[in-house]
Amino acid sequence: MKEDNQLVQLQKELQPWLTAGTLYQAILSSPKIKGEQSANKIVMRPVQLKEGLFYQFESYYNNKVLHQNIPAAEAAETLLPLIQDQYKQTLIKEKSTHLHILTNKKGLLSIKRKRNEEQIPEQIIQQHNRQKRRVLEEGTPITFLVELGIMTSDGRVHAKKQDKFRQINRFLEMVEDVLDYLPTDRTLKIVDFGCGKSYLTFALYHYLSVEQQRNIEIIGLDLKSDVIQLCNDLAQKLDYKSLSFLVGDIADYEGLSQVDMVVTLHACDTATDAAIGKAVNWGASVIMSVPCCQHELFPQVSNEIFTPLFSQGLLKERFASLATDGIRGQLLESIGYRVQMLEFIDPEHTPKNLLIRAVRPDVLSFNEQKWDQYQQFKQFLAVEHSLEKILKSHLPS
C-alpha cells in the first residue's frame, strides 16, 4: 500500500505545480516496451499559448519528434499514466523540488524527493512560459488547416506536415512584421501570383480576416485550372467569401487597378519580375516574393575575374541566382522601397528559401546612390535584367 500512497501523493503534488506553472520540466525515459510505437523519451514543459497555460509533451522517436499541447488543468491526467504504465524512470523538476521516480513492472512507484539546488531564477521559468509563439498554434483545431490535411480535427499537426506547418507560420510571422504598412481605412486588396495549392493564400486569409478582423479581398492566380477549381471549392466550403481563385498568367493579368499586397511563391524565372513590376505599378504597400528557377542571367554573366566561378556550371548557376535577387532588391530600393532578404524556411528542406520582402513608405523618393550602384554592378557583370525594363517608367531614361 505504501507504493499506492506514493501515486496518490504524487497526484496531489503535481496538480498545484502544473496549475501555477512552477513545474518547469519532466523527463520520462527507459520505456517499458521498446518499439516503433514507443517514444524513447518524453520531455514535458510549460508553454503559454493564447488560450492560457499549456504543457507541451515532446516525444522523441528514432527518426521523428512529435509535439502535443495539453491544458495545464488536464496535464496530470496525461502525465500520470505515462509514469505508471509506460516508463521506468521519470525526473520531475519543480521550482523548489526535484522528484526522481522509478516505476516497477507492476506500475508501483518509488519516489525520492530532494530540494532543487539548481536555484532556477524566475526568468528562466518565465522563458518556458514564453516559448516562441507561433501565429497559428497547435492544440486548437484551425478549420482551413484541417481541410488542407495539415492538422487533425482535434488540433494536432500531422507528423508529415510539420515542415509545412512551420513554413505557414514563418510566412505569417513575416506578414505580422509589416502589418503597419497596410492601410486600415479601407478594404485590403491582395493578389497571390502563382498560388498553386494555396496553403499560404488560405493562411493569409485566415490570419487577416478571421484573426485580425480586417476587411480584405484576396485573389489567387495560377495557370493550372484543376488546382484553381479545387481552391475555389475549398474557399466556398470554408465560407471565405472574399477569397477567389482565377486561371491566368501573371504578365497578362489586368483585373485590378490598385493592390495593397502582392505575394509570389516560386514564380518561375522572370515571372517573379512580372509580379514585382505589377506590384510596383499598382502602388502595393507590401511585396513578398520567393523567387524560383532563375535562368535569365546565367548565359549573360561574364567577367574574367570570376573565371574560377563561371567555369563551373553549378557555381555559376548559384552566383547568377544570387545576382538576380541582388538586382531585384537594388532596383526596388532605387525607386524608394525598403527591402529585406529573409530566410523563408530551413535550407535543409529546399535551397529555394530566400524571400524578398519590400515595403513602400508613404512617399516614394528615388534613391540616386542605389541606382548608381545598380548600374555599376550590371556593367561589371555585363548583364541586362527584365525587371529594369518592366520598371522603366519609374527609372531614369
232 and 341 co-located in one domain: yes
Cell numbers for 15, please give them: 496538480
Does a structural domain hold residue 136?
no
Query: Do 20 and 111 share a domain, yes or no?
Result: yes
Task: Give the whole-angstrom CA distance, residue 150 versus residue 298.
Answer: 37
In this structure, the answer to whether residues 158 and 125 fall within a common structural domain is no
Q: Does 231 share its domain with 378?
A: yes
Give pTM, 2 decimals. Answer: 0.66
> 278 and 367: one domain?
yes
Domain assignment present for residue 349? The answer is yes
Greatest CA span in the chain, whole angstroms?
Answer: 91
Single out the residue in 75, 105, 129 at which a domain terminates: 129
- Among residues 78, 90, 107, the alpha carbon closest in space to that of 26 is found at 90
pLDDT for 124 equals: 41
The number of folded domains in the chain is 2
pLDDT for 233 equals: 95
Query: Contact, 63 vs 44, CB < 8 A?
Result: no
The residue range of the domain holding 27 is 2-129
The closest of 93, 135, 129 to 114, measured between CA atoms, is 93
Cell 535551397: give the residue: 351
The predicted pLDDT at position 278 comes to 93
* Domain identity same for 191 and 91: no
- Bridge pairing between strands 261-268 and 286-292: parallel
Q: CB–CB of 129/121 below 8 Å?
A: no
β-bridge partners, 57: 44, 68
Residue 314 sits in a domain of what CATH number?
3.40.50.150
Q: Which of 295, 330, 288 is nearest to 313 (CA)?
A: 295
- Dihedrals φ, ψ of 113, to 5°? -110, 140
Residue 135 resides in a domain: no
Asked whether residue 202 falls in the same domain as residue 56, the answer is no
Would you state the pLDDT for residue 159?
87
So what's the pLDDT on residue 125?
A: 42
**268 found inside a domain:** yes
Q: What is the full per-residue pLDDT of the chain (397 aa) written as tens digits? A: 344 678 888 988 898 999 888 898 999 999 998 776 788 899 998 888 767 888 999 888 876 778 888 999 899 999 999 999 999 999 999 888 899 999 998 889 889 988 887 655 444 444 444 445 578 888 888 999 999 999 999 889 998 898 899 889 989 989 988 888 998 889 999 999 888 889 999 999 999 998 888 999 999 999 899 999 999 999 999 999 999 999 988 878 888 889 999 999 877 878 899 999 999 999 999 999 998 888 899 999 999 999 999 999 999 999 999 999 999 999 999 999 999 998 876 444 444 578 999 999 988 899 999 999 999 999 999 999 999 999 999 999 8
Alpha carbon distance 184, 178 (integer Å): 13
CA–CA distance from 199 to each of 148, 165, 169, 203, 205 (Å)?
8, 10, 11, 6, 10
DSSP string of 60-115?
A: E-SS-EEEEEEEHHHHHHHHHHIIIIIEEEEEEEESSEEEEEEE-TTS-EEEEEEE
CB 158, CB 147: distance < 8 Å: no
Same domain? For 59 and 106 the reply is yes
Going by C-alpha positions, the residue among 231, 238, 237 that lies closest to residue 200 is 231
How high is the pLDDT of residue 348?
42
Residues facing 67 on adjacent strands: 58
For residues 203 and 348, state if they share a domain.
yes
Euclidean distance between CA atoms 256 and 220, whole angstroms: 13
Q: How far is it, in rounded angstroms, from Cα 134 to Cα 157?
A: 13
Both 249 and 107 in a single domain? Answer: no
Same-domain check for residues 107 and 161: no
Whether residues 33 and 89 share a domain: the answer is: yes
Strands 52-60 and 65-71 turn out to be antiparallel
